[in-house]
Chain A
Amino acid sequence: MKTLTYNFAEEFTVSPGGRYEARSEKSGEEFRKAVLQPLLEKYDRVILDLNGVFGFPPSFLDEVFGPLVKKYGRSELERRLAISLSDDDVALRVISSVYEKHSSRT
């Protein structure tokens, strides 16, 4: 089983931007399409370390995780993607509400 730990702050940015790639630098769409989606296809399990960042805008998180929940389903995504975030409980709550919102729509 291939597992990878990805450090968001070191490998992507410490200052995430908005929702769409066309209208924002370091956007959620860019991160999902260029980084997270390929990693999930390549590895059986990805551990995403989101610590050490200025903050996560809700629209960024919605754009990263929403389409993935729709694609894989909540339980499958939770099995394949582990999130490590200890310094931002608000962002953690937003991620869990994104999971809930999009899983109820699938």
Chain B
Amino acid sequence: MRRYLRSVSWPPPRRLAVKVTRKQKRKPSQYQRSALVVKFPPRFDLIESPDDTVNFFEELRSAILIRPRRKVAMDHQSIEQVSPASGVVLIAELFRADSYAPRCKKTGNLPKRAEVAEILQKIGYWKYFGVTYTGKSSSNRQFMLHESGNRTTPKVVVDMIVHFREAVRFTAREEKRLYVALIECLDNVMNHAYPYQRRYNPPCLRHHWWVLAYRDSETHEVCVCFYDQGVGISETMRRRADNQLVLIPETDGELIIKAVVEGYQSRHLGSTRGTGLPSLKQFTDEAESGELVIVSRGVMCTFPHGKPPVYRDLATPFCGTLIQWRICR
């Protein structure tokens, strides 16, 4: 179990391909009696402060999944800033914890900053603690969270587009393009992120996606964050390239950038695969401002509006793939 979750040696050695068909849970005797305090970083932001945030997620995963405790106390006091992208990953981890280690009791304190508590309330975080934050709302951001799904669900995408209409006016043609791009992103998760081979399926893995979207009517900004706990974009592409004998770049960052940038060109050549992310990038290029950020395993790639894409390696590998798409117009 530990071998699978320590992503340093990812992917684990090859084994026989076996379909994983049942959900597994921790046995009661496997929980450690001592409680553990998990402290949030001040900037709980996967995009702005990736290393601290990824370290926090590793610590949380260790306390809940690898060496599960009877009790985990979440220290929210120090959070100064929280991003929607971090929020969706946090929700996904708690979802997985509730499903795999249901006897792990989670407690915690409220953050000092009311804005932080409010954002966490809006994304549905406090319900995992059985509480509701009733502070007064001051933000213009309207969140819409679809916690998870294990199939491509067109209704989720339709709801998102309808949700965005109050903040950004898309033409009918643009709405069609956006619908197609978002469906392709969800479908890629379900078709590629979770291979059936046993080596990719640790017992705690749930084959789900998580989506968090928000709109800000004042700044005319819309944002979608997708998260899955799968093998990562680069691993998927390497597996496919192995089958097709295609030459691919050496580093994961270059590989993802090539997929997004050249995927756009291949779309015009009639390809029907890998068109979701290139299409989202095209939206950011056409908007007044915005960006597409992909955090996948050990790398973070950023595609800012009007600038060439850049990537950086993370100090600690991230579990899964997060895509944040944000535009302002």
Does B306 touch A at the CB level, under 8 Å? Answer: no
Which residues of A sit under 8 angstroms from B49, Cβ to Cβ?
none
Interface residues on chain A, number (Cβ under 8 Å):
30
A35 to chain B, nearest CB (A): 16
Taking chain A's interface residues, is the majority helix, strand, or loop, or is none over half, making it mixed?
loop
In the assembled complex, the Cα of A13 lies from the Cα of B175 at a distance in Å of: 17
Taking chain B's interface residues, is the majority helix, strand, or loop, or is none over half, making it mixed?
helix
Digitize A6-25: 1 where CB-to-B-CB distance is under 8 Å, 0 elsewhere. 00000001011111100111
Interface residues on chain B, number (Cβ under 8 Å):
27
- Total CB contacts across the A-B interface at under 8 A: 88
Does B112 touch A at the CB level, under 8 Å? Answer: no
Q: Would B272 and A23 count as touching, CB distance under 8 A?
A: no
Digitize B176-195: 1 where CB-to-A-CB distance is under 8 Å, 0 elsewhere. 11111001101100110000
Does B273 touch A at the CB level, under 8 Å? Answer: yes
A interface residue numbers (CB < 8 A to B): 13, 15-20, 23-27, 54-62, 87-88, 90, 93-94, 97-98, 100-101
B interface residue numbers (CB < 8 A to A): 151-155, 157-158, 161, 172, 175-180, 183-184, 186-187, 190-191, 267, 270-273, 275
Give 11 A-B pairs besides A18-B191, A55-B176, A62-B272 with Cβ atoms closer than 8 angstroms.
Answer: A16-B183, A19-B187, A23-B152, A23-B187, A26-B154, A55-B175, A58-B273, A58-B275, A62-B273, A87-B172, A90-B176
- Chosen A-B contacts, 21 in total, with CB atoms closer than 8 Å, are A15-B154, A15-B155, A15-B158, A17-B152, A23-B151, A24-B153, A24-B187, A25-B151, A25-B153, A25-B155, A54-B161, A55-B177, A55-B178, A57-B183, A57-B187, A58-B180, A58-B184, A58-B267, A59-B187, A97-B272, A100-B270
